[in-house]
Structure 1
């Protein structure tokens, strides 16, 4: 009994010592304000597992645009508000270009590719990707024609549903993915192609894992020990599949190596293989392994976000039929039913263009951009951000700014229209983020959203199933899409 009391006393003493040390570390650390962290687990309880993104928003509302959270025993900065974003990512762009290390992300990407790489390698890979995409038509008329062709394929496939209930996810994702396939692989796939479908599944796994419960647990060693028994074994298997089972990419690279003509590159992979042979800068890491990670990131930037936005668009049009009717009326007046929409039509379709922007704002599919890290001590909004501290940029607060949008929590296209019904551009509308890390596929995404959306509205009226109540609750992921839903697509009188 005496020995037990000695052990118990020692444990109590160690716990008190740990608590005192924790209090001293927290109170003496000059950090922006935030909720008080608990020893070892930090603010895990403040964030929770059921609604982490909503928790971030509530913390930002309480503690301001620059606040502190502890993930375990590591502090991170929660950054919100347009002015804070601009100060950090535009005015101090070179300070905030690096990514922090996460075990789950390290397991998936090894710090390579375009999204989670840093430093010299990232700058060279991004420079090359932007130049190559531009070379193959991003932002030009040639790519517009490719998207219009895919619009026809998509509308033809929806037409075969004959107005019966269907889930648009597979067709919409396939159509958007085919645009990036054309740029990266040099060809498109049929929507029912098994390899194409498998590729989309793998890529979806990759972009869901980092924000999943298991992904977040993996990034906290202590929490990992506590929750290991509760982890879904299927989620563990996904990491292995995502990282090692990408045979479709390896097969595409093999074919390109056999068939390519260095004097006449057909696509991104051809250009990358040329760069591997020509580049003398070993630190830029132009390798076949890095090529795979770059292709995965291009698909994430070029497929996941745009397809989710278009699915939200269909859901909102079904949910708000008066908006859909007004969009169709404007399209009928300006374009008619005998030709496809063109990018030049944007200026003459102010309401439709405003609806597209409101879809992006209200859906807010990228609630926060991938984390950053300060490479030196600096300040944002007068608050100190220390070197090496992770920064979580929360976009949601900017797209729901009460000072910028009259009804921030409602779907309202008038947010992007002036008193004369003309389209109203807003500098703070940054769904693709801003600065040197802004989405490299922004131009492509804007073109796709406009052409796909106007084509769908021109050719179909989308309606709910009888007695159905559609949910506007989004899925949790790096890119948040709507949950599965079924709708009717009633054909209109397109004749092209």
Structure 2
């Protein structure tokens, strides 16, 4: 649908109304208008809008799908707790690097056999989130957990398909009709059940003097809030489950899909790997592991990661906002409570900010001296008070995953790169990359592997 919205915006401008079934929705396009929504008028567009699939999943509970004081308290608590467990700090590098080493070990074990990596990458991404939220790690051979992740990924595939888009347009009707959309909630149920089991186990083993992870910190806050008799609090088991459910789904899916897309781009453009290999060998070599601080010395890798995020355009529509008050915006009177879709794809592909917006071009993030350059229209995490809470984690994870993979391997396509199609198989709320097998060839450097 987002391609249709783009056509509408070309005719009617950066702010126009589209009816999602019977729901009038303001579609906002282009970097300048998005900036106004996210920052200039950020408080007015701060509420989460209606998205029927996610409304049914989260029931307006938890970190990302609540509003008002509930959202403010949950976000403030979550940001502080994540910082306490290393978010934005050097200490967070260690669990990411540990997971990256598991990926390398797994790819080496394939012995150059073609391999479709999406499920492994999903498990690896989930382990980073799980370490912080639940204090656990899952092996790539854990059949039960891998099946849960496979079903969750399939659910996102359906959400992004025509069936999922029809559900968002006509939820009441689609609830009564047969079709793949009815499987979305069944496929996601095992993850929800697993998270509830984890919460109950934490409740039984909680030591308030020694919190192990995010769940423990939340449970301790719940006990503290129980003392305030008669005061409504967002710190409930329902909001805990919804918050970690949301962070698992969003953090795992987005990062895994971005890495998967990045691998496809690298085998589609093997010349990129040559330049990256040269930079890695000069800055890091093979004797040590990469660190976040290496980014400043690796402009080509930094630019590559940014361009992969821009081009893969994982969530083209963004997530719905809603106006918190009546506002006159771009000359239009928008009532309080109106749904607003800030289309992230139109910032990431804004021709005023990217020279070749429809093509993969690493020079979008390199200046004339081949130094890394920022671009204000780079908004894969949105911006403002509702921006992705784990942005620093995702940025670090992507840099380290790509760097250590290319430090150890050359990625090769099974077909001639010019014949390789990496176009999304579904493009709705998420751009879903195609399933392609990749050959991971261990690099042999003079003096050792």
Q: Above 0.5 in TM-score?
A: yes
Give CA deviations for 1:408-435 in whole Å, capped at 9, x if unaligned: 1111101111111100111221110011
How far does residue 213 in structure 1 lie from its aligned partner after superposition?
3.4
2:278 equivalent to 1:332: no
CA contact (8 A) 2:119 2:149 kept: no
Q: Which residue of 1 aligns with 2:61?
A: 112
- Is residue 2:205 matched to residue 1:259? yes
- Give deviations 1:427-472, integer Å, cap 9, x for gaps: 2211100111111110100000000000011110000114573222
1:349 corresponds to which of 295, 298, 322: 298
Match of 1:471 among 411, 415, 421: 421
Contact 2:317 / 2:428 at 8 angstroms: preserved in 1? no
* Aligned equivalents of 2:56, 2:161: Cα separation in 1: 15
2:265: which partner in 1?
316
Map of 2:326 onto structure 1: 377
1:175 partnered with 2:121:
no
Q: Distance in 2 between matches of 1:455 and 1:290?
A: 36
Q: 2:219 aligns with which of 267, 273, 298?
A: 273
Indicate if the aligned counterparts of 1:120 and 1:283 stay in contact, CA closer than 8 A.
no
Deviation at 1:221, TM superposition (A): 4.8
Higher relative contact order (CA 8 A, sep 6+): 2
SS of structure 1 residue aligned to 2:48: coil
- Following the alignment from structure 1 to structure 2, what is the Cα–Cα distance between the partners of residues 138 and 239? 31
Q: Deviations over 1:79-114 (max 9, x none)?
A: 012221222221222111112334432221111112
State yes or no: 1:444 paired with 2:393. Answer: yes
CA separation in 1, counterparts of 2:59 and 2:244?
14
CA distance in 1, matches of 2:402, 2:70: 36
SS of the residue corresponding to residue 94 of structure 1 reads coil
Q: Which runs of no fewer than 5 residues in structure 1 stay unpaired? A: 1-51
Name the SS for the 2:39 alignment partner. Answer: helix
Counterparts of 2:125 and 2:85, CA distance in 1: 17
Distance 1:363 1:353, change over 3 A: same
Q: 1:124 to 1:195 in 2, by over 3 A?
A: farther
Q: Hey, what's the Cα distance between the residues in 2 that align with 1:219 and 1:298?
A: 21
1:58-69 mapped onto 2 (5 Å cutoff):
58-69=7-18
CA–CA distance in structure 2, aligned partners of residues 198 and 379 of structure 1: 48
Secondary structure of 2:314 counterpart: coil
Change (3 A) 1:65 1:343: same
Q: 1:97 aligns with which of 11, 30, 46?
A: 46
* Structure-1 separation of matches of 2:33 and 2:131: 37
How far does residue 244 in structure 1 lie from its aligned partner after superposition?
A: 7.5
Residue of structure 2 aligned with 1:386, choices 335, 354, 361: 335
Alignment partners' CA distance in 1, 2:151 and 2:222: 26
Deviation at residue 201 of structure 1 after TM alignment = 3.3
Q: How far apart are residue 361 of structure 1 and its match? A: 0.7
- Taking the TM superposition and a 5 Å limit, the aligned residue runs for 1:283-302 are 283-302=232-251
SS in 1 for 2:385: coil
SS in structure 1 opposite 2:386? coil
The whole-number CA distance in structure 2 between the counterparts of 1:471 and 1:443 is 31
Give the whole-Å Cα distance in 1 for the aligned partners of 2:183 and 2:301.
43
What residue in structure 2 maps to residue 8 of structure 1? none
* Alignment partners' CA distance in 2, 1:103 and 1:271: 31
Note the C-alpha offset of 1:135: 0.6
1:83-162 maps to which residues of 2 (within 5 A)? 83-162=32-111
In the TM superposition, residue 67 of structure 1 has moved relative to its aligned partner by 1.0
Name the CA distance, whole Å, in 2 between partners of 1:286 and 1:188: 26
Larger deviation, residues 151-160 vs 85-94: 85-94
Is the Cα contact below 8 Å between 2:192 and 2:245 reproduced in 1? no
> How has the CA–CA distance of structure 1 residues 370 and 466 changed in structure 2, closer, same or farther, with 3 Å as cutoff?
closer
- Partner secondary structure for residue 47 of structure 2: coil
Q: Does 1:200 align with 2:149?
A: yes
d(CA) in 2 for partners of 1:99, 1:71? 16
Q: 1:284 to 1:369 in 2, by over 3 A?
A: farther
- 1:232-285 per-residue CA deviation (whole Å, 9 max, x = no partner) reads 1x5314324535873311221122112221111010111111111112485442
Change in 2 beyond 3 A, CA 1:211/1:165: closer
CA distance, structure 1, for counterparts of residue 365 and residue 338 of structure 2: 36
Q: Is the 8 A contact 1:98 1:119 kept in 2?
A: yes
Distance in 2 (CA, whole Å) between partners of 1:215 and 1:170 is 22
The secondary structure found in structure 2 opposite 1:137 is coil
Q: How does 1:364-443 map to 2 (within 5 A)?
A: 364-443=313-392
Q: Does 1:248 align with 2:194?
A: yes
Number of residue pairs the alignment of both structures matches:
442
The alpha carbon displacement at 1:217 in A equals 3.2
Given that residues 130 and 136 in structure 2 are in contact (C-alpha distance below 8 angstroms), is that contact kept between their aligned partners in structure 1?
A: yes
User: What stretches of structure 2 of length at least 5 have no aligned partner?
Assistant: none
